[in-house]
Amino acid sequence: MKLDPVVIELLELDPENTNVSSAGGFGCSSASTSKITTKLSDDSRKVFFMKTGRGKDAEIMFKGEHASLNALHSAVPSLSPTSFGHGQFSTQPSTSFLVTDYLNLTGRSSSKSSAPSLASKLAKLHTTPVPTPEGYDKPVFGFPVTTCCGDTPQDNSYKSSWADFYAENRLRYILRRAEKSNGTNKELRGLVETTASNVVPRLIGDSHLNNGNGITPVVVHGDLWSGNASVGTIGSTDGDPEEVVYDPSACYAHNEFELGIMKMFGGFGGSFLKEYHELCPKTEPASEYEDRVKLYELYHYLNHYALFGGGYRSGAVSIMKTLVRKYGAN
């Protein structure tokens, strides 16, 4: 495969000493992956990872992943790869690309290094202040660009209220996506609206969390299931492997939002959460922590229903019925 000139220029490569091969993993339904290997002037090698895809969906996805990776990397450099850039091929303008550090993965079970754990890295990410967007006088919830959770483009338009953001930009938004994919279901629509209108302000309202002091937005990965975490080295094979994450769908959010999909698919045990919460304590009231995580898990059930249909609707309905019984009274 010949490397497009725009990528050669972006990475400042010598095309005569650069080759491209297929790379497994890290992809999604609309992307293919490649490994770029170049020989430097001192005869050492540098390796990059590239995703490519066709059409507007790929363009949106790669722009969001570029911003997401660099938001994570900026806060905790050893947590994720750097993204070097994204754009369209000059020879094939309908094909978009994203170029990042190459991850040399060995698998999470093989971690034996003394490097910081994933729990401690995640806690650092979730206790690092986010930038204040232009036009605002303090950090807000949202993200500068659209990000994709799976193949779902998310509405990250800024809101000063976390409860408003979660109700509108996540729950009501994903319901509309699900209805577009699967048709309207009266029970599902009613439960989502009751959850967004009643449960959300009661459980994660700004005047309720942290004894009325609200929460500070932090960067979350946004799609942190076990398949998006592993052990390896970033950019080279040198150094001890350590725990890393990839394929993020970032936004500025309540840190506990991260835990919803982690709970949904498992792979992060009690010892992980114990270490994490020693460094990043549960939001008050801690007695409602499990229900907040369940509320955040709901979004991912609805997203999976929008993407795949099937039994994910019943999972979402079950969560909402439980939460509405406890918190849904007007």
101 annotated active-site = no
Owner of token pair 């900026």: 74
3-state secondary structure labels for all residues of 180-227: HHHCCCHHHHHHHHHHHHHHHHHHHCCCCHHHHCCCCCEEECCCCCHH
Contact 189, 319 (CB under 8 A): no
Residue type for position 250: A
Residue 35, strand partner residues? 21, 49
- Which pair of tokens denotes residue 327? 């918190």
Q: Is the dihedral of CA 21, 24, 27, 31 positive or negative?
A: positive
Q: Of the residues 155, 223, 247, 291, which is catalytic?
A: 223
Contacts 24+ apart (CB under 8 A), 206-215: 206/161, 206/162, 206/163, 208/285, 209/162, 209/254, 209/283, 209/284, 210/283, 210/284, 211/284, 214/162, 215/162, 215/254, 215/255, 215/283
Tell the residue number behind the tokens 């997203």, with chain if given. Answer: 303
- Residues recognised as catalytic: 223
